[in-house]
Structure 1
Amino acid sequence: MKLNSDIKIVGEHVVLVPYREIHVEKYHSWMSTEELQILTASEPLSLEEEYEMQKSWREDADKCTFIILDKAKFDKDGDEISAMIGDTNIFIKGSDASTGEIEIMIAEKTARGKRLGWEAVILMLLYGIKEIKLQHFEAKILMKNSISIEMFQKLGFEETSTSDVFKEVTLGKVVSKEWTEFLHKQYFYQIQPH
């Protein structure tokens, strides 16, 4: 998505930056692991296919993706690659483009369990509300990924459907003023040039 191609979102513990070519090799190495393929319901891609996917994320108007950086590491050396810990995405859906399907992946095991994913999702939700003007969010999560399901439920998402075929649950949340204020109270949020 061109909307987010030249900005970064700075939080307290994470920084979200647009997914660029420089990130592809590390991202590809993450997605080459069976664990992340299962958790994200993804098929393995060649490195060449991953570069093509990155271009589509940058150009397609219905896709918004950011790479999640560990802010402490990034502030220390300014190296986005070494600070990469995961990604977060929004797929824009619906005839009126008011629904966003949100995804989060913390790929680096050392970054898990530190609430960095929680913060990254909140920043992404706020970006979706403020900049993309989304009115509704969905999260499709594998039924066995109880950590992600619980996180979205703590954020106010409620189960809307399940699919035994895909072994996933869909959670949804309608945007409201009160919920937006709740998200704002969680973390510092600032958009800066990138």
Structure 2
Amino acid sequence: MQRSWRQDADKLTFIVCRAITTGTEDGVPSQTELQTESDSPATMVGDINLFLRIDDGEEGDSPPQIVGEVELMIAEKVNQRRGFGRAALLMFMRYIVQNQGAILDEFVGGGDVDVETVRKLRTGVKTAGSSEGLTFECLSVKIGQANLRSLALFEGLGFERVSAEANFFGEFELRKTDLSLGGVDAALEGAKVRGFIALPYERTE
């Protein structure tokens, strides 16, 4: 299953761990490689996932768009309401926005999206005159109507409810369409999430 998480083109799974204790240079972490204890079970607090799907309308007759559905889970109550969820969501969003071209190229080239849909997606990019390649139409999340904390978290980061009433399953769908890098960086600064580096994950298992 772990291998599937790493190889499937239609989803991303990040494990949320406590911050690495390390020195800094001008506010930026100076560590350059993961240590054995950096992602040990003792440091893990939850996970965050992105599931990619094609949205072509209820009748299937609308131009296809790529939607990324987010799921966030901070497992134990002792780790909830401590800012882990907000920090993880913001960093995840930044990774997605910064790398969306590569993520979406892998998605449409992974064999699960039919050739005609891929053609329409790429034709849509050319028609719009974009030089950035494929992009997300939006990020989406579904939250139970009683989960007020999660609703507040996502709404506080610019996600908006699709409808005023919960659906048949008692869930609200929220979407965020402003996926600019500048907007995400401003939200990071507002949440006081400062100074980060991307470290390569080189373990095979």
Please give the TM-score of this superposition, normalised by the length of structure 2: 0.61
Distance 2:3 2:35 in 1: 27
Structure 2 unaligned regions, length at least 5? 22-33, 56-63, 102-134
1:88 aligns with 2:48: yes
Counterpart position of 2:74: 106
Matched position secondary structure for 2:73: strand
Contact kept, 8 Å, 2:12 with 2:49, in 1: the verdict is yes
| In structure 2, distance between residues paired with 1:148 and 1:63 | 21
Say how many residue pairs are matched.
Answer: 142
Cα deviation for residue 149 of structure 1 reads 0.5
Structure 1 gap segments, 5+ residues each: 1-51
User: Larger helix proportion, structure 1 or 2?
Assistant: 1
* Larger Rg, first or second structure (1 or 2): 2
Higher mean C-alpha deviation, range 154-163 or range 180-189:
180-189
User: Where does residue 144 of structure 1 map in the other structure?
Assistant: 146
The alignment status of 1:169 with 2:129, answered yes or no, reads no
CA distances 1:100-139 after superposition (whole Å, capped 9, x unpaired) = 1111100022111111110000011111111124532111
- Measured in 2, the distance between the counterparts of 1:97 and 1:67 equals 27
Residue 89 (structure 1) shift: 0.5
Question: SS state of the match for residue 96, structure 2?
Answer: helix
Are the aligned partners of 1:68 and 1:85 in contact in 2 as well (CA < 8 Å)?
A: yes
Distance 1:83 1:97 in 2: 37
> What is the aligned-residue RMSD (CA, Å)?
2.5
What is the DSSP-based 3-state SS (H/G/I as helix, E as strand, rest coil) of the residue aligned with 1:141?
A: strand
Distance 1:152 1:76, change over 3 A: same
1:158 partnered with 2:126: no
**Counterpart contact for 2:17–2:39, Cα < 8 Å:** no
- The one-letter amino acid paired with 1:100 is G
Contact 1:137 1:172 in 2 (8 A): yes
Among 147, 164, 189, the residue aligned to 2:196: 189
Q: Report percent identity of matched pairs.
A: 30
AA at the equivalent of 1:65: T
**CA 1:159 to 1:60, structure 2 compared with 1: closer, same or farther past 3 Å?**
same
What is the TM-score normalised by the length of structure 1? 0.64
Superposed structure 1 runs of 4+ greater than 6 Å apart: 73-76
